[in-house]
Amino acid sequence: MFTYQTKIKLHDTDAAGVIFFANQFKIIHDAYESLLEGIGFGFAELIRNKDFFLPIVHAESDYKAPLFVGDVLEVQVKAGRVGQTSFTLGYTLLNAKQEIVGTGRTVHVAVSKATQQKILLPADLRAKLEKLHRQDDKSATR
């Protein structure tokens, strides 16, 4: 499991000081970016040096409890299904008391920059995602 931490900022909230619903996706995406960077596929590297993109083709999010300005948030990212051309990530958002305040899921597809068509996941990326998935499976069975 990969862990990302952040703090809810004023610009993340609505007029009542509660996180604006769409910003949960922003926070999930920040965790996704951090995960990719951690496994050697940061966006700077992808955009400048790779011949593929990893667009999100499906995203869902559930809100379990409100978050307020200044709240510390932990996002746990787990690798779900790793297919031939796509992969799924699951997100659990926890407050400082380690209570679940939200969940999310994103599905990503490998797409050729040149053709804009779906391609096989590059072998090195696939191997790292599968390793993360195996680690998540092991920790879930303990």
Q: Please give the positions annotated as active site.
A: 14
Q: Give the end-to-end CA distance of the chain in Å, rounded to a whole number.
A: 13
Half-sphere exposure for 82 (CA within 13 Å, toward CB): 18
Can you tell me whether residue 63 is helix, strand or coil? strand
- How far does Cα 140 stand from its chain's mean position? 19
Q: Are 102 and 86 in contact (CB under 8 A)?
A: no
Nearest to 83 by CA among 20, 28, 125: 125
Q: Is 22 exposed, middle or buried (0-12, 13-18, 19+ CB in 10 A)?
A: exposed
Distance CA 97, CA 38 (A): 26
